[in-house]
Structure formats: C-alpha cells, structure tokens
Structure 1
Amino acid sequence: MNLIMKRRSFRTLTAFLSVLIIGLQAAEAQNEINVLKLKSAKDLQAFFKYTGNDVLLIAGHRGGMVNGFPENSIATFENTLKHTPAFFEIDPRLTKDSVMVLMHDATLDRTTTGKGKLSDYTYAQLKDIRLKDAEGNVTDFAIPTLSEVIEWGRGKTILNLDHKDVPLQMTADLIRKHKADNFVMMTVHHPDEALFYLKNNKNSVFSAFIKTKKEFEDYQKAGVPFTQMIAYIGPHVKPDNKELYALLNNAGAMCMISAASSYDKLKTAEERRAAYQAIARDGASIIESDYPIELADAVKDFVKKDTPKQKFFKKAPIKK
C-alpha cells in the first residue's frame, strides 16, 4: 500500500471513529437527565435565595405538556429533565380513602379515562384508569401517588406542591415522613399558611403569591422570611413588576412569572419564544411554563454560567 492510500485509509478511519463517537455521545445523552443536587433544606434555601448572580430557573407547570406525556406524571417530569434542568409545580389531591395523588382538576374527565369526581374514588379504584396527554390521547401511564413522586424526585429535582384539597397538616406530615424538606416546597396563598408550615418545620420553603406591594407588606408584617420563598408575582410583563422586583429581590426572594395562563396560549412557537425572552429581560428570576423544554431553548442565552449556583446543576444516568 503506497503512502497516498495509507493516508486515505487513515482519514477514512478517523472519520468513521468521529461519527461513531458522536453517535455514542448522543446515545449517552439520551440516557442522562439534568438534576438538581440539594443535600439539605439549607441548600434549598440557598438555591432560591436572590443574590443578583443567579441562574435563570425553569419551572415546569404540572411537569410540562408534550404529546404522549400527560401532565402531573413521572414520565413527563423525566422527559423534561432530559432536555433541561427544571423544578415542577404539581397538584396533590385526595382520593375517597385519603391517598394523596396528583391531579390538577377535581374531576377525572379532562386528563384521564375516568369520569366524575376524583374524591368519589378510592385509590384502588383509580389503578386501572389511564392518563391522557394534552391532546386527549390515552397513554399507558397511571395516576401517581404523591409519595411515589417524592421518592422519584429525590436527588433529581424540586417539587412545588400546589394547594388543592389536601389539608396543610397532611402535607406537612408527608414531607416529614419522607424527610423531603431539602427538595419539596409548598405553594401558599396567604402568610397564615406559611406560618403554619414554619411552625411544623422552621426550614420550610414556599412559593408565595405576592402580586402587590400590599401582599409583600403582609408577609413582611407576619415575619415570614423572604429568604425561604420564591414569589409568584403574576402571569404578565407589566410596569408594576419593577416595584415588586426591587422589594422582593432586596429582601432575598426570587420573583417568578408564570406563562401558563398567558403567553403559553400564544398560537405560534415564534410568538411564545419572544414572550419568554421578554419575561427574562423584564427581570424575573424564574419562569414557569406548560412548555418548559421550549422555554429553556428560548432563554438559554440568558442563563448565567459564571455563578456559584452552577454547583447545584448536575447530570445523572436515568435509572431503569
């Protein structure tokens, strides 16, 4: 074999190996998820504390909405984490026999193959019911219990529990049972709810509805620590946000705008992308969306890489 043929063979082999390596890397990436590594409740507080040098955070509303993946399901959470780091707002409700399961609506009709009120069914009766995706397609996924989701989420993400029909004490007791205060937080609509949780666990972290200066002052007067909350300030970019950003950020709280009821409703991906970027430019520290994967791609250039908080962001293999 002459020198020219040897060089050609070497180049061919090199090209083949490059393609093989790229293929293996792609396959490996499909078997990995983005995770948030939080070892303690203090880590959770530090993760959300506003410092001015923070990572723009993605919150998946009910986990996210992608064809084939139903809201409020482990499969959806895991699918989202394949594409982006995120935490999840989820919806615990009670069955007839007081099992906490995930379901946004009080009724089964929209999101499952079942009919009627969730509270009329025991957990055993729900086991044969299957979840639907956002398009109404029936999937193979069953309704998960909150306990199952908490154990799945450990070491992977943060769960924000919305307040539906589960008594506050039951929620506090379940978090204590699972020793999950390092990655489970609670949505509160009033300072009294936050104070209740703090009485049960002084390290509790909240997602608090604070849409006005008056509501900020209510939490301030109640003595709820702003360094143990994120503040949901509404669904829109508007001039009033500037005052809330200043008040809450100065107190140590990140501010969240949710696009779920507003900009997620825009018809095209281009319109939604522009809206998500407008939220990031407006000054929000956290953006919540029904489309967290789409959102993450839209705002990737706004995510800081040189912040100490990057230590919380890791990759991990998907456990079969």
Structure 2
Amino acid sequence: MKKYILIFVLSFVVISCKSNKSETVAKSKLVEVFRASNKNYPNISVHRGGKDIFNYPENCLETIQYINDSISAIFEIDIAQTKDDKLVLMHDNSINRTTTGSGLVRKMTYKELSKFNLIDDFGNVTSYKIPLFKDVLKWCKTNNVILTVDIKRSVKQIDVIKAIKEANAQDICVLITYDVAQAKSAFKNAPELLLSVSARNNDEFDRLLQSKIPTENMLAFTGTRLSPQSLYKRLHQNDIVCMLGTLGNLDRQAKARGDQLYETWKANGIDIIATDRPFEAYKAIN
C-alpha cells in the first residue's frame, strides 16, 4: 500500500513540475507589444525585406538597413537551406531570378552561393551577397529591428526555431505559419514566440481558437484580399492585431487610384499593412 502511495506522490510531483515549467515560459516581448489594445508598434511590414527598390535586392541585409534608416517597419524575410544546412535568405527554390548564378539552393553549399551577387528587381547586379540568417538575426537584434520569418517548404520549422533561440532573438522574431498544424507545431516547439497565423475568415479563426494556442501568441494575417470588417472587429475583441497583405493587387490599386487607400484600409480595421510599397504606405498612414 505504501508503495502505491509513494508512486502516486512522485507522479503528482512530476506532473506539477511539468505544469509549473509550462506556466513559467518567458514570452517574447513581442507578445506584449503586438496587441490590438496597444498601438505602439510598427504598422508597416516590408515584403521580402524590400522589393522594387533600385539597386537594393529582396531578402538582402543591406536593403533592410536602407529601409530601416527611413521608416519604422517590420521586415518579412524568407528562409531557405543550403546543401550544407546553412540557413539563408532566399524566396525561390533556385537562385536564377535573384542572383548572377543559377541552380537550386538545396543543392549548393553556402560557399558556392557566396560566389554570386544579388540582382535587384530591375535586373541590376549589385555588390551584395546572399545573407546568412544568423547574420541578419545578429544585426536586427543589435538594432531592435523586428522580423517576420517565412519558412520555405524545403526547410524544417524546428531548424529555424533553433537558429532563433541560438541567437537569443526571440524578442525580435515573429514566426509565420500558414495553417493550424504549422501553428500548433510552432507553439509546441517555441511557446514563447509570437506567431503570424492565417485568419482570413471566421472559419479559420474558429479553428485557431480550437487549437488551444493562446490568443496572446497570435498575430492575424488576414490575407491579400479585404475581409468583412466584422472579422477585424472580432479579432480586435480578442486583442489580436490584424495584418493585411496589400502586396500584389491592393498595392496596384493604391498606385493607380491614390495612396489614400492605405489610410482607408487602416480605418476599416487593419493594424499592419504588408506591402511592396513601404515608403508610400508608411507616408499614407503615418
């Protein structure tokens, strides 16, 4: 009998320790900053670290530095992985479009990639190189620049989370997820991180609520089309920040019809505008 009591007590202690451990996870500072009730955060997200800028390529550290000198923004970057398991900034599977070289990232070592230069969106060859993720993390951490990290399909989420933790960069990184399964995996492996979650409609938001991920860990990406204002209101009622992707069609609308559209979208309930036109959008809503 005493033996069973001892086992019960030990089991209770173990469960209690696990419970206390989960409750005492130190959350990223961004969890507190990016709340709908708190407007003191950047309201522009720069797509691919900056696009369509003369002599400044996408997913390039120097482009992030250039834009950051002019406006307050967060920077969406894309993470790919080399043959020798180095994490780099690159949107495409191949380097053909954005560099002077050719080939698949996953079939080349970082040393091989370093031979090539980045090309801007106008075809101009620059002196800039494909950056290592760890170098971008280091600079952004030093300069308090916030990143939203988009993980390419060929890259394991856990590898990116590991790199963020090794750099102690949890306070400047938002992890992008595209569905509930990715969000649950990210929260399981990094419960301290703020997650960009897909909430384009009420059904998607309902699935997120059912996932048991705390709403404080959510930043809602509401898609690249306008949603009903009722969705933004519901997200705000849960203190969740709303991000609209104007990149693409909506950016083209603003360019053709006037940048005041960014202000209109913000007035309708959008907190952050993810755009390929960061300077124009920033000027319009600030």
- Structures share fold, TM-score greater than 0.5: yes
Distance in 2, matches of 1:91 and 1:125, equals 19
Whether the aligned pair in 2 keeps the contact of 1:90 and 1:102 (CA below 8 Å) is yes
Distance in 2, matches of 1:126 and 1:177, equals 23
Correspondence for 1:193? 182
Whether the aligned pair in 2 keeps the contact of 1:113 and 1:132 (CA below 8 Å) is yes
Note closer, same or farther for the CA distance 1:54–1:283 as it changes in structure 2 (3 Å cut). Answer: farther
Residue 294 of structure 1: CA displacement?
1.8
1:275 aligns with 2:253: no
Normalised TM-score (structure 2): 0.85
Bigger CA radius of gyration: 1
Residue 56 of structure 1: CA displacement?
6.1
Residue 110 of structure 1: CA displacement?
1.2
Note closer, same or farther for the CA distance 1:103–1:56 as it changes in structure 2 (3 Å cut). Answer: closer
Q: Which of 100, 105, 110 is matched with 1:113 structurally? A: 100
Q: Which of 201, 209, 214 is matched with 1:225 structurally? A: 214
1:51 aligns with 2:44: no
Distance in 1, matches of 2:258 and 2:106, equals 36
Correspondence for 1:285? 271
1:181 aligns with 2:170: yes
Correspondence for 1:162? 150
Matched letter for residue 50 of structure 1: A
Matches for 1:17-96 after TM superposition, within 5 Å: 41-51=27-37, 53-54=39-40, 57-65=43-51, 66-96=53-83
Find the residue that maps to 1:255 and give its secondary structure: strand
1:132 aligns with 2:119: yes
Find the residue that maps to 1:92 and give its secondary structure: strand
Matched letter for residue 221 of structure 1: Q
1:297 aligns with 2:283: yes
Whether the aligned pair in 1 keeps the contact of 2:243 and 2:270 (CA below 8 Å) is yes
Percent of pairs identical after alignment? Answer: 29
Whether the aligned pair in 2 keeps the contact of 1:191 and 1:224 (CA below 8 Å) is no
Distance in 2, matches of 1:282 and 1:129, equals 44
- Structure 1 residue ranges without an equivalent (≥5): 1-39, 301-320
Q: Give deviations 1:132-155, integer Å, cap 9, x for gaps.
A: 111111100000011111001004
Find the residue that maps to 2:196 and give its secondary structure: strand
Distance in 2, matches of 1:120 and 1:225, equals 38
Note closer, same or farther for the CA distance 1:55–1:203 as it changes in structure 2 (3 Å cut). Answer: closer
Correspondence for 2:9? none
Whether the aligned pair in 2 keeps the contact of 1:212 and 1:233 (CA below 8 Å) is yes
Using CA pairs below 8 Å that are at least 6 residues apart, which structure has the higher relative contact order?
A: 1
**Runs ≥4 residues deviating over 6 A:** none
Matched letter for residue 64 of structure 1: G
Distance in 2, matches of 1:55 and 1:183, equals 12
Correspondence for 2:137? 150
Find the residue that maps to 1:186 and give its secondary structure: strand
Whether the aligned pair in 1 keeps the contact of 2:42 and 2:72 (CA below 8 Å) is no
Residue 55 of structure 1: CA displacement?
5.1
Distance in 1, matches of 2:267 and 2:213, equals 28
Distance in 2, matches of 1:278 and 1:200, equals 38
The answer to which of 177-186 and 256-265 deviates more is 256-265
Residue 198 of structure 1: CA displacement?
2.0
Q: Which of 244, 261, 273 is matched with 2:248 structurally? A: 261
Q: Which of 197, 200, 205 is matched with 1:208 structurally? A: 197
Find the residue that maps to 1:162 and give its secondary structure: strand
- State the aligned residue count: 258
Distance in 2, matches of 1:178 and 1:241, equals 39
Residue 272 of structure 1: CA displacement?
5.0
Residue 60 of structure 1: CA displacement?
0.5
